């Protein structure tokens, strides 16, 4: 049986970096607990404050094995820094590097392959305004068509162009991603997107007529969410609750 190296970086990195490592490791564990993982694949990345350096999962580790210390520090080229004993999946970092490269606000990028986001992203009509959870991603949503495995560097330009200023990107036949100025904001945006897709799949399965939310209401929610779901009343409040949940589930992530 392969034994993971035992690492303890808490006293070897800045307090700011350690807290980011805690948040990101918790995000991986929460994604696992909600069933959003895809074995050792998919990635959640976070930018180190003031640097073009990023934390991402080690290639070969399941989400429930991620800890604050075994997260890997890389640059935009996906090169491993600080003599980490782990490597990363270069193809997996292609999407993340493309976004971090052009979006200063993308301090955290969550890219997952859940069944529901794959299904909804692959529908011709995409995500529909049929529930309150859909209101949040619909107000800042873009699409990037499937081009195969994300290993071609020239796809990065098209992904960047398709994403634009949106904070949610649907990837038809593939999954989706959300980004945010913090791990907490990106996580809450994913939670809204995931729930919206789950509801849509369930609603469509009834084969009954659906009641869409009117565009004028969607426009109103766009204004309302600035008060309800961002800043001090969004990720900043909800993320601490999620972090406490991660500790209750398994505190080993914080090592």
Q: Considering the entire predicted model, what is its pTM?
A: 0.93
CA distance 147 to 172: 10
What is d(CA 228, CA 224) in angstroms, rounded to the nearest whole number? Answer: 6
Closest CA to 67 of 135, 106, 100, 18: 18
Can you give the pLDDT at residue 149?
Answer: 79
Q: Which of 81, 74, 68, 78 is nearest to 6 (CA)?
A: 68
Question: What's the CATH number of domain 15-246, 3.30.70.330, 3.40.225.10, 3.40.50.1820, 3.40.109.10?
Answer: 3.40.225.10
Q: 109-146: string of b/e by CB count within 10 Å (b at 16+)?
A: bbbbbbebbbebbeeeeebbbbbebbbbbbbbbebbee
pLDDT at 1: 47
Strand segments (E) across the chain: 43-47, 53-56, 72-75, 108-112, 141-143, 168-171, 175-180
pLDDT in tens for each of the 255 residues of the chain?
A: 456 777 888 889 999 999 999 999 999 999 999 999 999 999 999 999 989 999 999 999 999 999 999 999 999 988 999 888 899 998 788 899 999 999 999 999 999 999 999 999 999 999 999 999 999 999 999 999 998 777 677 889 999 999 999 999 999 999 999 999 999 999 999 999 999 999 999 999 999 999 999 988 888 877 777 665 555 556 778 899 999 999 999 999 999
pLDDT at 7: 82
């Amino acid at each position: 049986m392969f034994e993971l190296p035992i690492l303890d970086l808490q006293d070897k990195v800045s307090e700011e970096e350690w807290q980011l490592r805690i948040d990101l490791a918790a995000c991986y564990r929460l994604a696992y607990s909600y069933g959003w993982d895809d074995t050792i694949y998919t990635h959640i990345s976070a930018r180190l404050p003031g640097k073009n350096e990023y934390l991402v999962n080690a290639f070969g580790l399941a989400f429930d094995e991620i800890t604050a210390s075994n997260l890997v520090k890389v640059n935009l080229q996906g090169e491993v820094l600080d003599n980490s004993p782990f490597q990363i999946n270069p193809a997996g970092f292609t999407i993340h590097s493309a976004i971090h490269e052009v979006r200063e606000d993308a301090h955290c990028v969550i890219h997952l392959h859940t069944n529901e986001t794959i299904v909804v992203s692959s529908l011709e009509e995409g995500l529909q305004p049929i529930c309150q959870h859909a209101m949040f991603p619909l107000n800042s949503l873009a699409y990037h068509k499937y081009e195969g495995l994300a290993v071609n560097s020239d796809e990065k330009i098209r992904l960047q162009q398709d994403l634009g200023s949106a904070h949610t990107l649907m990837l038809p036949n593939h999954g989706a991603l959300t980004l945010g100025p913090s791990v907490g904001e990106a996580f809450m945006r994913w939670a809204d997107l995931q729930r919206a897709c789950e509801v849509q799949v369930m609603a469509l399965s009834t084969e009954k007529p659906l009641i869409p939310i009117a565009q004028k209401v969607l426009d109103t929610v766009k204004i309302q969410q600035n008060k309800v779901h961002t800043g001090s009343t969004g990720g900043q409040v909800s993320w601490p609750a999620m972090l406490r949940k991660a500790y209750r589930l398994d505190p080993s992530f914080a090592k």
